């Protein structure tokens, strides 16, 4: 029963995704081509990996506004490391490390510093973006060795890493969330933190781990982002915090924590990616695009909510 | 003469000129202070405008405070408010967009501080002068360059900056005019929000819908650089010519490598210098042109 609950949640957004796919399949002859479907996955890869981390945080009742700034900072720092040292391995460690450190910092400030997640990560967003500008002097750092670009531009047996990485990340996180005590604790913290603490669980420790995990995933997203466009730019990933949160929420996760499925989050990310892709294919006037995007997002969440009510 | 003596004399000479300098400035007026409110120092282009502003100011003995709005219209307004508080003699403004610029100009108008707009333009308000690249002309230059590389009837695409950006839209207009005149088919006109990653996504989607595409004009270099990554990933580098606008260092490097067909370069450094010169001239009582065009130049592998 518990398992089916986890799987069912987010099926509403799946219905919405299928409807959107049908609309675009009918209106654009090239939409359903394998190549295009691959393009869509590649285009949502970064945001989906980041959204996975954001989802864990939201499950605990928190929020993370820092991801855009962190992508920019981890991006420019590792870009300059790979350019100056010539060592892709070192730069990859730096990219993941910078984001991980900021994740741990956020977790510590929120738990031990008692700063609300919204304010704390808003501050980190600004600091990280600012540091990215200071560090790079506002100038993009471009052209990397292939090994450093592997996560963003490489492929294994013809399958892009931008497809492989999200699949691996989501599979692993599904197991963590649904098959480990850690996953149960994450849900428990979001449902009732005090009660969880009273059962003898060190909720602060687990929350720091969650923010650290999200940081690491943001670092991975940064690696994919700069590898793909072959450039680290302090203005990278503008607005990604909202895109990540939107993917999580469209995917049926409750903003108040405790409820949500990892499968829903990838569907949420795909919904946004499919809309962006379809609007380009149909050559819809850019003036109308954000209107369409906003409307579809609201409709998608409406479908999800209604399907839940019917089940309840 | 010993080295030490020489140094002493040099130091004295310096001190004398310094005193003379201050005396001059004091008799003329106290040194001018300008504020430069810039939309985004994350963009090489604006970094160069700011350098031009700073260098020209130094040359003319003007001190200048540079404030970065970091692409945020609200921060831009706050920056201009801060400049008004500092009682600067002139506000130089490169607004985030024409509307946010209008708000900033309204504040400065209220405080009776003259405003000089460097690029972008403002939707309303009183400004002393607009210093801007010839964007419409530049779009036409890009269009002609593309038209020379392909045959009439060829499919081309147009990638634009954020909807509502007046000046990049002029580039697009110039390009579109030439495409229509030369009988090219614009099969896609999409926005990529001035960003490289988005430029890559949009290009990928356009290529999916229009596999026979032969050329792309992007309204800025960041999007053009994203587009060439998508073209390369699709294995169509030989088929699709990409032309950008701005002339950033990254774009020039990509042209050298043969990945980018060309860009229409603005001369942002000169724009910054011209902004300061114009403001100093105005404060010195001279009349200044309402609009001053900074020339643009086509950059190709050949030149």
- CATH label of the domain that carries residue A178: 1.10.3470
Mutating which of B39, B72, B163, B205 best tests the A interface, going by the most A Cβ atoms within 10 A? B205
B153: closest CA of chain A, how far (Å): 19
Q: Does A155 touch chain B (CB under 8 A)?
A: no
**Contact state of A236 with B253 under an 8 Å Cβ cutoff:** no
**Contact state of B43 with A138 under an 8 Å Cβ cutoff:** yes
Tally the residues of chain B: 303
B90: closest CA of chain A, how far (Å): 25
The per-residue pLDDT for A187 is 96
The per-residue pLDDT for A137 is 81
B190 closest CB neighbour out of A39, A140, A283: A283
**Contact state of A286 with B68 under an 8 Å Cβ cutoff:** no
Q: Tell me which chain A residues have a C-beta less than 8 angstroms from the C-beta of B225.
A: 142, 229, 231
Q: Does B79 touch chain A (CB under 8 A)?
A: no
- The token duo for A128 is 């990280």
Nearest CA in chain A to B234: A35
- Tracing tokens 């910078």 back to the chain, one arrives at A98
Q: Tell me which chain A residues have a C-beta less than 8 angstroms from the C-beta of B226.
A: 229
B202: closest CA of chain A, how far (Å): 7
Q: Does B237 touch chain A (CB under 8 A)?
A: no
B88: closest CA of chain A, how far (Å): 25
**Contact state of B209 with A230 under an 8 Å Cβ cutoff:** no
Residue A224 belongs to a domain: yes
The per-residue pLDDT for A309 is 63
Q: Tell me which chain B residues have a C-beta less than 8 angstroms from the C-beta of A30.
A: 208-209
> Distance between CA A196 and CA A257 in Å, rounded?
14
**Contact state of B250 with A280 under an 8 Å Cβ cutoff:** no
Residue A60 belongs to a domain: yes
**Contact state of A283 with B191 under an 8 Å Cβ cutoff:** no
- Tracing tokens 């460690």 back to the chain, one arrives at A93
Q: Tell me which chain A residues have a C-beta less than 8 angstroms from the C-beta of B197.
A: 46, 225, 228-229, 236-237
Structural domain span for residue A262: 7-306
Residue ranges of chain B with per-residue pLDDT less than 50: 1, 16-28
Range(s) of chain B covered by CATH 3.40.50.2300: 30-127+269-292, 135-265
Residue A1 belongs to a domain: no
Number of domains in chain A: 1
Q: Does A235 touch chain B (CB under 8 A)?
A: yes
Determine contact, residues A199/A48, Cβ cutoff 8 Å. no
**Contact state of A276 with B201 under an 8 Å Cβ cutoff:** yes
Q: Tell me which chain B residues have a C-beta less than 8 angstroms from the C-beta of A281.
A: 205, 208-209
B268: closest CA of chain A, how far (Å): 14
For chain A, 312 residues long, give each residue's pLDDT as a single digit of tens.
Answer: 344 444 555 578 899 999 999 999 999 999 999 999 999 999 999 999 999 999 999 999 999 999 999 999 999 999 999 999 999 999 999 999 999 999 999 999 999 999 999 999 999 999 999 999 889 887 889 999 999 999 999 999 999 999 999 999 999 999 999 999 999 999 999 999 999 999 999 999 999 999 999 999 999 999 999 999 999 999 899 999 999 999 999 999 988 899 999 999 999 999 999 999 999 999 999 888 889 888 888 888 887 777 766 554
The per-residue pLDDT for B23 is 44
The per-residue pLDDT for B97 is 84
**Contact state of B208 with A36 under an 8 Å Cβ cutoff:** yes
B205 closest CB neighbour out of A133, A138, A280: A280
Residue A13 belongs to a domain: yes
- List B residues 251-280 in contact with A (Cβ-Cβ < 8 A): 253
B43: closest CA of chain A, how far (Å): 6
Residue A215 belongs to a domain: yes
* A-to-B residue pairs, Cβ atoms closer than 8 angstroms: 92
ipTM tops 0.90 = no
Q: Tell me which chain B residues have a C-beta less than 8 angstroms from the C-beta of A71.
A: none
Residue A311 belongs to a domain: no
A230 closest CB neighbour out of B188, B205, B229: B229
As assigned by CATH, the class of the B30-127+269-292 domain is alpha beta
Q: Tell me which chain A residues have a C-beta less than 8 angstroms from the C-beta of B43.
A: 138, 235
Nearest CA in chain A to B71: A235
Q: Does A133 touch chain B (CB under 8 A)?
A: yes
Determine contact, residues A63/A249, Cβ cutoff 8 Å. no
Nearest CA in chain B to A226: B197
Q: Is A57 exposed, middle or buried (0-12, 13-18, 19+ CB in 10 A)?
A: buried
- The token duo for B265 is 């370069």
DSSP state string for B222-275: HHHHHHHHHHHHTT-TTT-EEEEEE--HHHHHHHHTTSS-EEEE--HHHHHHHH
> Distance between CA A190 and CA A117 in Å, rounded?
13
**Contact state of A286 with B47 under an 8 Å Cβ cutoff:** no
pTM here? 0.80
- The token duo for B293 is 């065009």
- CATH topology assigned to domain B135-265: Rossmann fold (3.40.50)
Count of other CB atoms within 10 angstroms of residue B153: 10
Instruction: Dump pLDDT digits (tens) for B203-255.
Output: 999 999 999 999 999 999 999 999 999 999 999 999 999 999 999 889 999 99
Nearest CA in chain B to A76: B42
* Torsion angles phi and psi, residue A36, rounded to 5: -70, -40
Nearest residue to A232 via CA among B51, B196, B96: B196
Q: Does A140 touch chain B (CB under 8 A)?
A: yes
DSSP state string for A239-264: THHHHHHHHHHHTT--TTSS---HHH
* Torsion angles phi and psi, residue A72, rounded to 5: -60, -45
B202 closest CB neighbour out of A33, A143, A280: A280
Helices (H), chain A: 2-8, 11-27, 34-59, 67-85, 88-111, 117-136, 146-153, 161-179, 181-191, 193-198, 203-229, 240-250, 262-281, 286-311
């Amino acid at each position: 029963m518990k398992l089916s609950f986890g799987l069912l949640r987010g099926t509403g957004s799946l219905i919405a995704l299928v409807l959107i796919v049908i609309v675009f399949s009918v209106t654009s002859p090239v939409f359903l081509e394998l190549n295009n479907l691959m393009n869509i996955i590649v285009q949502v890869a970064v945001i989906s990996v980041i959204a996975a981390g954001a989802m864990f945080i939201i499950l605990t009742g928190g929020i993370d506004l820092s991801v855009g700034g962190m992508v920019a900072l981890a991006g420019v720092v590792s870009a300059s490391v790979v350019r100056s040292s010539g060592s892709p391995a070192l730069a990859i460690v730096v990219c993941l490390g910078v984001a991980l450190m900021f994740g741990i910092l956020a977790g510590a400030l929120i738990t031990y510093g008692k700063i609300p997640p919204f304010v704390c990560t808003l501050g980190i967003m600004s600091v990280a973006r600012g540091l990215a500008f200071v560090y790079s002097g506002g100038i993009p750092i471009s052209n990397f060795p292939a090994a450093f670009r592997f996560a963003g531009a490489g492929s294994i047996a013809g399958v892009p890493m931008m497809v492989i990485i999200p699949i691996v990340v989501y599979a692993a996180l599904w197991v963590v969330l649904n098959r480990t005590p850690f996953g149960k604790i994450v849900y428990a913290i979001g449902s009732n933190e005090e009660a969880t603490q009273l059962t003898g669980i060190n909720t602060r420790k687990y929350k720091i781990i969650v923010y650290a995990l999200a940081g690491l995933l943001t670092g991975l997203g940064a690696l994919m982002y700069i590898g793909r466009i072959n450039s680290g730019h302090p203005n990278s990933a503008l607005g990604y915090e909202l895109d990540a949160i939107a993917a999580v929420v469209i995917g049926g996760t409750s903003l108040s924590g405790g409820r949500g499925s990892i499968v829903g989050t990838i569907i949420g990310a795909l919904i946004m990616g499919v809309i962006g892709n379809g609007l380009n294919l149909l050559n819809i006037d850019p003036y109308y695009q954000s209107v369409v995007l906003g409307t579809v997002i609201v409709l998608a969440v409406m479908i999800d909510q209604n399907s839940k009510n019917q089940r309840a | 003469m010993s080295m030490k003596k020489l140094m002493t004399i040099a130091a004295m000479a310096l001190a004398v000129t310094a005193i003379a300098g201050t005396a001059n400035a004091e008799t003329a007026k106290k040194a001018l202070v300008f504020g430069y409110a810039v939309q985004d120092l994350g963009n090489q282009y604006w970094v160069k405008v700011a350098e031009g502003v700073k260098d020209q100011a130094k040359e003319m003995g003007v001190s200048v405070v540079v404030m970065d709005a970091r692409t945020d219209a609200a921060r831009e307004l706050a920056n201009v408010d801060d400049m008004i508080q500092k009682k600067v003699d002139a506000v130089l403004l490169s607004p985030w967009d024409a509307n946010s610029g209008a708000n900033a100009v309204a504040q400065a108008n209220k405080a009776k501080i003259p405003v000089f707009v460097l690029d972008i333009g403002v939707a309303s308000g009183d400004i002393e002068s607009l210093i801007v690249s010839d964007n419409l002309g530049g779009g036409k230059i890009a269009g002609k360059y593309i038209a020379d590389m392909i045959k009439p009837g060829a499919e081309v695409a147009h990638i634009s900056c954020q909807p509502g950006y007046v000046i990049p839209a002029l580039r697009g207009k110039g390009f579109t005019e030439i495409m229509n005149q030369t009988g090219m088919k614009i099969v896609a006109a999409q926005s990529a929000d001035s960003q490289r990653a988005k430029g890559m996504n949009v290009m990928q989607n356009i290529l999916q819908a229009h596999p026979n595409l032969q050329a792309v004009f992007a309204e800025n270099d960041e999007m053009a650089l994203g587009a060439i990554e998508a073209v390369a990933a699709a294995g169509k580098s030989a088929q699709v010519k990409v032309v950008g606008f701005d002339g950033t260092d990254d774009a020039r490097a990509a042209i050298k490598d043969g990945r980018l067909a060309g860009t229409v370069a603005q001369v942002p450094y000169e724009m910054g210098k011209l902004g300061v010169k114009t403001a100093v001239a105005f404060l010195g009582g001279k009349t200044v042109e309402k609009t001053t065009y900074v020339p643009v130049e086509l950059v190709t592998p050949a030149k």
